[in-house]
Structure 1
Amino acid sequence: MTYRKAYQLYSSRNFPPLADQLPILKDMGYDAIEPWLPAYEENPALFRRRLDDAGLGCYGFHMPLSGLVNEPDRFIEIAQTLGATYLIPPYVTAEEREPTVAYWRGLGEKLARGAEAAARHGLQVAWHNHDFEFVPLEDGSRPIDHIFDAGGSDVKFEIDCGWIVRAGADPAVELEKFADRIVVIQTKDTAPLGTKEDDGWTATGDGIIDWTALVPLFRKTRADHIVTEHDNPSDWQAFARRSIEHLKVLGL
């Protein structure tokens, strides 16, 4: 299986204008972009036209958890405008987080309610991880497990392999554990821990993750596309090009 390939537009937020990046990404071989708020918020219809003009799709987009909770209809409408299937809350701030089972189960329940609303329109909700979901709570349990247990099977997963490694966990283990829930895979790579350049992130294939070993596990998931991302590249085009070239070498 050859996956559709998307580029997380957050990666090049520091190199505006974003619209000028779209045809460049298309020429590199990307099929779609995965935008983050506020890239699409001001005028989703205009954003869609720019994607169409560049020949790019949008399979999913990042959005605030509060939007899913408080404004589900607005973000469902945005998804329909962009042609996206996946509504993806990616983060809760350190100030919001509580080190309790109840907090993380409550987050899962919020995602479940959003997923129920999205499903009525043929859409899905997926959680995107960082590192903190894999750090054990005082009782030894993990936030990621509480999120999905409370969320139920309708809450899907965009797995970010780089952040899992940063948390000291093993992406191979998590890919297997959540295979039936994973609908999007982010192939974020990390340089050796402690690296300062580019905040320690790197292009897919240039870091410490053994992607060759992970590819067979990708194919056991329900993912229908993969996404490249880098949180702070000094050269976004070099990152984007190197990443997609490595994905093609991997047969993805």
Structure 2
Amino acid sequence: MKNSVSAFAFVILLGLGPAQAQKKVFPQTPGMVSYTYRNSFQKNVAATLDTIKAFGITDMEFSNLFGKTAADLRRLLDERGMKCSSFGVGYPDLQNKLAEVGQNAKTLGAEFVRVAWIPHQGAFTLDMAKKTVDDFNRFGKQLKDEYGLTFCYHNHGYEFEKYEDGTLFDYIIKNTDPKYVSYELDILWTVFPGQDPVALLKKYPNRFKLMHLKDLRKGVVGNLSGGTPVENDVALGTGQIDLPAVLQAAQKAGVQHYYIEDESPSIAIQVPQSIAYLKNLKK
């Protein structure tokens, strides 16, 4: 009996067996996308930040200033010990007022400037992808050279049109300069058009700096439209995405910031569920 107990203790000391099984898949605290609380932010920015901070979340990705100046928003963040690591903007902002974008991002304290939609009509085409590559390389170089910011593109599903032995998203990644263009992987908008986020993370290590954590309702069949009802956003771990596999691949691939994004009208219930899921996820 003594020998078997000693052997078990030795296994535990080596970090094997039960001890290893308790290792957390996601040890860090996630960030939050402002879009999750868009309705609340429109009414009261300070109170909404308090709600998010109460979850222990201090890392924000803002894609709207909600009627504030960047300096006003930065002050509200500083007062709460919170930060904005990524600033999301529209494509026309990058085309027409990139200097303002850069200044606002710097004022907010962001490291990244992110765009999540390429304006287009109908199916996304190779010609659109070629123009996108030119734009992204230009946006990224200017943001890096003049403001020290990293430009990121957030996929939205329509870019996965077939092209050669891959997709137009592959074409965009391969033809954008890694010095100036990085990516934010939205895992719902990867799975919805039928792609595998784990495979993408392995295929392009160190290109994805940011990630939107979300889950897609079970049974939903996707397409290349880039759109689905917001009710199809469900609490993490209750949908069809293999989140443990995605998170482990993301950590190996160099993702730096993870933001919960829940577009549904059920965030009061789902956000706490998602946070608890991440906290309790074990290997």
**What TM-score comes out, normalization by structure 1 length?**
0.89
Q: AA paired with 1:6?
A: G
Could you give the per-residue CA deviations for residues 7-35 of structure 1, whole angstroms, max 9, x where no partner exists?
11111212332331111111101121111
Whether the aligned pair in 1 keeps the contact of 2:206 and 2:255 (CA below 8 Å) is: no
Q: Secondary structure at the match of 2:54?
A: helix
- 1:81 has 2:107 as partner: yes
Whether the aligned pair in 2 keeps the contact of 1:166 and 1:193 (CA below 8 Å) is: no
Distance 1:46 1:75 in 2: 16
The residue number in structure 2 matching 1:217 is 249
Given candidates 173, 186, 189, the residue that maps to 2:215 is 189
- 1:248 has 2:276 as partner: no
- 1:150 has 2:175 as partner: yes
The alpha-carbon deviation at position 188 of structure 1 amounts to 1.3
Distance 1:178 1:3 in 2: 23
The residue number in structure 2 matching 1:208 is 240
The alpha-carbon deviation at position 156 of structure 1 amounts to 0.2
Distance 2:190 2:162 in 1: 13
Q: How many aligned positions are there?
A: 248
The residue number in structure 1 matching 2:259 is 227
- 1:31 has 2:62 as partner: no
Could you give the per-residue CA deviations for residues 126-148 of structure 1, whole angstroms, max 9, x where no partner exists?
000111112325x6652212222
Q: Secondary structure at the match of 2:210?
A: strand
Distance 1:216 1:194 in 2: 24
Whether the aligned pair in 2 keeps the contact of 1:203 and 1:242 (CA below 8 Å) is: yes
Whether the aligned pair in 2 keeps the contact of 1:3 and 1:225 (CA below 8 Å) is: no
Given candidates 123, 147, 161, the residue that maps to 1:135 is 161
Shift of the 141–224 alpha-carbon distance from structure 1 to 2, 3 Å rule, reads closer
Deviates more, 1:236-245 or 1:58-67: 236-245
Could you give the per-residue CA deviations for residues 185-209 of structure 1, whole angstroms, max 9, x where no partner exists?
1111111243998521112222111
Distance 2:196 2:35 in 1: 25
Q: AA paired with 1:207?
A: G
Aligned CA-pair RMSD: 2.3
Q: AA paired with 2:53?
A: K
Whether the aligned pair in 1 keeps the contact of 2:231 and 2:265 (CA below 8 Å) is: no
Whether the aligned pair in 1 keeps the contact of 2:160 and 2:168 (CA below 8 Å) is: yes
Given candidates 156, 161, 170, the residue that maps to 2:187 is 161
Whether the aligned pair in 2 keeps the contact of 1:203 and 1:240 (CA below 8 Å) is: yes
The residue number in structure 2 matching 1:17 is 44
Whether the aligned pair in 2 keeps the contact of 1:215 and 1:250 (CA below 8 Å) is: no
Q: Secondary structure at the match of 1:37?
A: coil
The residue number in structure 1 matching 2:12 is none
Q: AA paired with 1:23?
A: D
Stretches of 4+ aligned residues off by more than 6 angstroms = none
- 1:171 has 2:197 as partner: yes
Whether the aligned pair in 1 keeps the contact of 2:124 and 2:158 (CA below 8 Å) is: no
The residue number in structure 2 matching 1:99 is 124
Distance 1:251 1:36 in 2: 32
Q: Gaps spanning 5+ residues in structure 2: where?
A: 1-25, 222-227
**What TM-score comes out, normalization by structure 2 length?**
0.80
Given candidates 126, 134, 138, the residue that maps to 2:152 is 126
